Amino acid sequence: MNNLNNNQSGVTFFIFGATGDLAKRKLYPAIYSLFREGKLNERFTVIGLARRHRSREEFQNDVYQAIQEFARYKIDQDDNWESFVQHFEYMSLNTNDLNAFYELNQLTESLEQRFDIKGNRLFYLALAPQLFGQVANHLRDGGLLNSSGWHRLVIEKPFGYDLQSAEELNAQIREVFEEEEIYRIDHYLGKEMIQNIEVIRFANAFFEPLWNNKYIANIQITLSETVGVGDRGGYYENSGALRDMAQNHMLQMVAMMAMEPPSRMESEDIRDEKVKVLRSIRSYSDTQEVGEHVVRAQYTEGVLNDKTVHAYRDEDSVSKTSNTETFFAAELYVDNFRWAGVPFYVRTGKRLPSKATEVVVEFKNIPENVYFAKTNQLEPNLLVFRVNPQEGIYIKFNAKKPGGKSMIIPVAMDFCQSCEVGLNTPEAYERLVLDAMRGDSTYFTRWDEVASAWKYIDSISNAWSQNTNDLQFYEAGSWGPEGMIQLLQKKGFKWWPVHGQDEAEVTWVQAKSEK
């Protein structure tokens, strides 16, 4: 891979949407961390682009504020700051104005000369997706793709609203950029423990032999959030949890858990294996199937961390009669040899009691329980990937209670990675920006992955559009609607508590729904 060369010949970052939320919270902090860690040499420049007017100084000051507020490295020395910020320029540009792109090309060429950059250009679109096609065309027509280096387009989710709109969007972009030049961000793929799933699976003789339907009873994926929709109500009304979290982050996690070992750890080999999983996810054929396997719900007013929080319908830019789901749970099946019959349970929701991203692998019982009469079950073995906020691996198994005669109790081995290496591990966006700069697309989603994910999601949204009566409600600060528990109960399973969740609370929720 030509990683080092890419970095050594410099790069121009074009941040479209430079005054927006994503740029401030994620992109400037990521670029600063890379700079502080020596992963960006002196040969780079960042051009911020948005419609509103900003002088160079004002823009640099915005970047300063964003870094102080959101970056894991604080600006502690003026020297650091001065040598960093001299690389930042701003230009007011409306994406619909081709003339502005000619001007941008001139500005770029002069900056490339100043910083000795060999024409490598990374276009980051932190913009609404409706503008992607227009930007791509204007980049080409404005001459920005004529430089001698590489050209890469980084785009944010959501990639479309359904399969059809995603295909249209893809076609627009592909008129200008090759698939290899397109980096579709799914920031979950930049998270340390998501990347660790493949290592834990493929570098350990403990796990891979058991990784199939003979030994695994079910897999549970939880992405719970305490936040509500905040000021993103307008966006969220058209997205809901299904498109905001399930279509991308959640299905990518399913793919990482279920994929076959790739023959080589190369980008295309890994993505080939992931897409096979996504293609094998069973779509639901009608509203009845969706009703049986999928739960959608919306939060009502409630108490979270001792504070009363609004109902979703009372959030800014949200309709008082909105049917948008802020909670999504499903039982899904990967129809292939390895996973036949193994349910994958997924759930995500806003305004839940704690922030947690976890994957639990529940193993089947041993063939014969020699310790107790058959009616007494041993606790199943669990392997848990803790993704966020704590990062680590947790294994629960059965052992003899010390001193007891034949008492068996579940015990745990808990490896807390974030405790070991400290909390200051790289943010997902840092890894992904660096990967895009180096030309490594492993942890970006390829078009066929996106399209396959949409097929499954469309089977749900089509059914929902025919039946609006199945929306459930849950109080903000609770763990979600009752339907989520019933999804598993039908098969004799229960949701395992996520880190920090009291087991008694799970039992209580369970008991409540059993009534």
Ligand X SMILES: O=C1O[C@H](COP(=O)(O)O)[C@@H](O)[C@H](O)[C@H]1O
Ligand Y SMILES: NC(=O)C1=CN([C@@H]2O[C@H](COP(=O)(O)OP(=O)(O)OC[C@H]3O[C@@H](n4cnc5c(N)ncnc54)[C@H](OP(=O)(O)O)[C@@H]3O)[C@@H](O)[C@H]2O)C=CC1
Whether 151 is catalytic: no
Backbone angle region of 305, left / alpha / beta, with phi > 0 → left and psi within -120 to 50 → alpha:
left
Site string for ligand Y, 66-105 (x = CB under 6 A): ---------------------------xxx----------
- Residue 388 contact partner, candidates ligand X, ligand Y, none, CB within 5 to 8 A by sort of partner: ligand X
Nearer to ligand X, 244 or 482 (CB): 244
Nearer to ligand Y, 11 or 49 (CB): 49
Site string for ligand Y, 13-32 (x = CB under 6 A): ----xxxxxx----------
Catalytic residue from among 249, 293, 310, 499? 249
- Interface residue with ligand Y, options 1, 128, 227, 303 (CB under 6 A): 128
Residue 50 beta carbon to ligand Y: minimum distance, rounded to whole angstroms: 3
The Cα 358–Cα 389 span in angstroms is 9
Residue 182 beta carbon to ligand Y: minimum distance, rounded to whole angstroms: 15
The answer to the question of whether 18 is labelled as a binding residue is yes
Site string for ligand X, 175-214 (x = CB under 6 A): ----------------------------------------
Of residues 151-190, those binding ligand Y (CB under 6 A): 156-158
- Interface residue with ligand X, options 388, 390, 445, 501 (CB under 6 A): 388
Residue 391 engages ligand X in binding (rule: CB under 6 A): no
Give the Å distances, CA to CA, from 179 to 121, 169, 170, 446. 16, 13, 9, 8
CB-facing half-sphere around the CA of 395: CA atoms within 13 A: 8
What are residue 350's phi and psi, to 5 degrees?
Answer: -100, 155
The angle subtended at Cα 53 by Cα 182 and Cα 436, nearest 5°, is 20
Within its chain, how far is the Cα of 228 from the centroid?
17
Site string for ligand Y, 295-334 (x = CB under 6 A): ----------------------------------------
- Residue 52 contact partner, candidates ligand Y, ligand X, none, CB within 5 to 8 A by sort of partner: ligand Y
The angle subtended at Cα 218 by Cα 502 and Cα 385, nearest 5°, is 55
Note whether 74 and 66 are within 8 A (CB): no
E strand spans, 96-150 = 121-125
The answer to the question of whether 187 is labelled as a binding residue is yes
- Residue 126 contact partner, candidates ligand X, ligand Y, none, CB within 5 to 8 A by sort of partner: ligand Y
The Cα 301–Cα 476 span in angstroms is 6
Beta pairing class for 182-184 and 302-304: unpaired
Question: What are 132-137's contacts with CB under 8 Å, separation 24+?
Answer: 132/169, 132/172, 132/173, 133/169, 133/172, 133/173, 134/95, 134/96, 135/16, 135/95, 136/172, 136/173, 136/175, 136/176, 136/177, 137/172, 137/175, 137/176
Nearer to ligand X, 343 or 480 (CB): 480
- Interface residue with ligand X, options 225, 325, 358, 362 (CB under 6 A): 225
> Under DSSP, is residue 486 helix (H, G, I), strand (E, B) or coil?
helix
**Quick one: which of 510, 160, 488 has its CA closest to 332?**
488
The answer to the question of whether 20 is labelled as a binding residue is yes
Per DSSP, 281 falls in state B
**Quick one: which of 118, 97, 127, 114 has its CA closest to 14?**
127
Residue 77 beta carbon to ligand X: minimum distance, rounded to whole angstroms: 29
**Quick one: which of 70, 59, 74 has its CA closest to 22?**
70
- Residue 244 contact partner, candidates ligand Y, ligand X, none, CB within 5 to 8 A by sort of partner: ligand X
- Interface residue with ligand Y, options 81, 109, 129, 283 (CB under 6 A): 129
Nearer to ligand Y, 24 or 293 (CB): 24
Nearer to ligand X, 70 or 215 (CB): 70
Nearer to ligand Y, 134 or 417 (CB): 134
**Quick one: which of 244, 163, 250, 246 has its CA closest to 447?**
163
The answer to the question of whether 21 is labelled as a binding residue is yes
- Residue with the two structure tokens 């823009």: 59
> Under DSSP, is residue 429 helix (H, G, I), strand (E, B) or coil?
helix
Residue 62 engages ligand X in binding (rule: CB under 6 A): no
The Cα 92–Cα 149 span in angstroms is 25
Residue 227 beta carbon to ligand X: minimum distance, rounded to whole angstroms: 6
Residue 244 engages ligand X in binding (rule: CB under 6 A): yes
Of residues 29-58, those binding ligand Y (CB under 6 A): 50-52
Nearer to ligand Y, 12 or 459 (CB): 12
Terminus-to-terminus CA distance in the chain, angstroms?
A: 59
Nearer to ligand X, 142 or 190 (CB): 190
Provide the edge-to-edge strand list for the sheet that holds 216-224. Answer: 408-416, 392-400, 382-388, 356-363, 216-224, 344-349, 327-332, 294-300, 471-475
Residue 157 beta carbon to ligand Y: minimum distance, rounded to whole angstroms: 5
The Cα 48–Cα 87 span in angstroms is 11
User: Binding site: which residues?
Assistant: 17-24, 51, 157, 187, 191, 225, 244, 350, 355
What does the binding site for ligand X look like in residue numbers (CB under 6 A)? 225, 227, 244, 357, 388
User: Binding site for NADP(+): which residues?
Assistant: 17-24, 51, 157
Active site residues: 249
What does the binding site for ligand Y look like in residue numbers (CB under 6 A)? 17-22, 50-52, 93-95, 126-129, 131, 156-158
